[in-house]
Structure 1
Amino acid sequence: MVKAEVAYEIKALLGEGPCWDERNQVLYWTDITGEVIHRFNPQKEQNDTFEIGEMVGAVVVAEDGQLVLAAENGFYFYDTETKQMNAIHDPELDRPDNRFNDGKVDPAGRFWAGTMQKSDNEPEGTLYCMNHALEVEAKLTELRTSNGMAWDMKYRRMYFIDTPTRNIYVFEYDLETGTITNQRVAFQFTETYGFPDGMTIDTEGMLWIAGWGSGKVSRWNPETGEVLSVVEVPAKNITSCTFGGKDFDTLYITTAREGMTEEELGKLPLSGSLFFIKPNAKGLEANRFKNNHNA
């Protein structure tokens, strides 16, 4: 078992949603409860923080360099220079108890992001997809905690996590239309590895999954459900991971302080920090959001 190191020490309440910007060689990530976006520059070991003013679950980069957010009250464009936040669409105006959680851009440039209840864990969440015309469509309903997503190398499959079920789901995915069909369980995430949270895929088609409550990130073969390797992280609640660096050979890992006792925080004081490891695997460039104005 290999161990992750600290990339940046910080006390994020609910660190999440890491997204590597290969043009600028920086990592964007969020602190959902802290209501901020972070931009980490590994070369300078510098972490800039942008206050959003509402819970922000996911941050992705658009073709024009703007950020696109899935936040408490819907989708937004965000400009880090002007600090301007422009609302795009809130598909859940009628659900004030919900917020957006994890999100990712698919290989065609659409932004997928899902919701969950802020406090209870009822199946009130929905997975949405925002297309190039900024139209938002519901793809899955009755989710508890909409979480990690990944697409395979051939763009024929989409993987998806609804955390409390411990299932890693797989769908047939149509690149052209964004349609997902034939939902089934690829494999179950066993208790040893925690609850499956965020995930990413490597160039060999293996899934790296953050384990909430376990202090681990694990690498799985989605075809066989076999665990291939485990990364130990000096934090309890591991929330997500993504590949970055010039060669996409660095795995960045986000963590949370939420859900921990004072005793646990005393034992794992680095919880909430951003971690990294070079795991002898490589990831892929993050897809950029495309809309009709910048496609």
Structure 2
Amino acid sequence: MIVPHSTSTVETLAGRTEQGLALRQFRVGNRVGECPIWSDARLTWIDVRAPAFHALDPASGSLSTWTLPKPVGTHALCADGSILLALRDELALLDTEHGCLRTVVSPEPDRPHNRLNEGRVSPCGAWFVFGSMDDSGAGRPTGQLHAWHPQHGSRVLLDGLHIANGFAWSVDGQTFCFSDSKAGVVYRARWQPQTGTLADIVPWVTADEHAGRPDGAFIDADDNYWSAGVSAGCINVYAPTGARIRKLPLPCQAPSMVCPGPRGSVFVTSLVRPHWAPQDIRPEDGQLFQLLDVLASEPPAPVRLRLT
């Protein structure tokens, strides 16, 4: 399949948060922006409901967009330059140069009401760990965690989640963190890279509506867990002990994911809830943000998935 590609220029606004932190706002107008990744001087992310894959040069505001045939839950960068996309019911590879999209695996043929949601490349670059959620509106705990290896296929790591989210590895690569956004719980587990499996899964952090239910996340160079508080308009930062050590309010109501950017900055995607009344939607909702000078040190570049 060949997917449509377009280019545009994004308006950029400068401002500050209520705490006085310098902020850049990119007026991208997403419905459900998710999964930002900073690499090679550009930011890539997806809009779940557009559905689309985006690539932005923040310096120039130049935006490239690939329109996708199905809702998309996440993406990963591959070592050969292609993009791995978790579409509604399949993993697919996108060749951005030619616009070619091809399916590689359909992991949940027995769960037609689920859609794939969230995913990360393992520290060794061999595994793509991804999750799913009930997309019917019923809110059933039918979500799973999967690990896909290009040579060995896909396997189920965990069942019974509402919304698999918040994937991140510790600095030493031995601990995997993930959340169930609906339950408001972040879990920690021992990651076993040789087999692509999890062990010793335990609840680690609990965050309610007021604190900010945990959505997309990353772990910084000090092993702190940065979590988008999707229900509270903020980023929550948790120490390895599980204690919240920082709260960063944002101008949008529903930040969906945070990732490290250049020179101590972080990027944040956001969403617009479909049930919000027009008068309740802020101009900042659905936009992309860059908070400046908030990271003490930059994490390493994102790992790319090895396909061969």
Offset of residue 135 of structure 1: 0.5
Identity %: 25
Q: State how 1:14-163 maps to structure 2 within 5 Å.
A: 14-21=32-39, 24-109=40-125, 110-118=127-135, 119-133=137-151, 135-163=153-181
The residue aligned with 1:193 is 211
Among 246, 251, 254, the residue aligned to 1:229: 246
CA contact (8 A) 1:186 1:222 kept: no
Indicate the SS of the match to 1:137: strand
Indicate the SS of the match to 2:116: strand
Distance 2:113 2:304 in 1: 29
Distance 1:134 1:44 in 2: 41
CA contact (8 A) 2:147 2:197 kept: no
Offset of residue 86 of structure 1: 0.7
Distance 1:231 1:18 in 2: 18
Higher relative contact order (CA 8 A, sep 6+): 1
Offset of residue 134 of structure 1: 5.4
Q: C-alpha root-mean-square deviation of aligned residues, in Å?
A: 1.5
Offset of residue 177 of structure 1: 2.4
Among 263, 266, 282, the residue aligned to 1:251: 266
- TM-score, normalising length from structure 2? 0.88
Distance 2:89 2:75 in 1: 14
Distance 2:36 2:223 in 1: 19
Q: CA deviation digits over 1:164-199, x for unaligned, max 9? A: 111110001123322210111112124432211000
The residue aligned with 2:7 is none
Indicate the SS of the match to 1:165: coil
Among 289, 298, 303, the residue aligned to 1:275: 289
Q: Which runs of 4+ in 1 moved over 3 A?
A: 1-4
Q: Are residues 1:219 and 2:219 paired?
A: no
The residue aligned with 1:284 is 300
Q: CA deviation digits over 1:214-233, x for unaligned, max 9? A: 1101111131x222222221
Q: CA deviation digits over 1:48-105, x for unaligned, max 9? A: 1110111011111000110001111210100111111010000112322111111111
Distance 2:140 2:155 in 1: 21
Instruction: Tell me which amino acid in the other structure corresponds to 1:60.
Output: A
Offset of residue 252 of structure 1: 0.4
Instruction: Tell me which amino acid in the other structure corresponds to 1:280.
Output: L
Count of matched residue positions in the alignment of Structure 1 and Structure 2: 285
Offset of residue 280 of structure 1: 3.2
Distance 1:172 1:149 in 2: 13
Indicate the SS of the match to 1:101: strand
The residue aligned with 1:242 is 259
Indicate the SS of the match to 1:193: coil
Distance 2:300 2:257 in 1: 16
- TM-score, normalising length from structure 1? 0.92
Distance 2:152 2:92 in 1: 10
CA contact (8 A) 1:196 1:211 kept: yes
Offset of residue 26 of structure 1: 1.0
Distance 2:111 2:186 in 1: 26
Structure 1 pair 194/4, CA: closer, same or farther in 2 (3 Å)? farther
CA contact (8 A) 2:212 2:236 kept: no
Unpaired segments ≥5 residues, structure 1: none
Distance 1:256 1:3 in 2: 21
The residue aligned with 1:165 is 183
Offset of residue 11 of structure 1: 1.5
Instruction: Tell me which amino acid in the other structure corresponds to 2:193.
Output: L
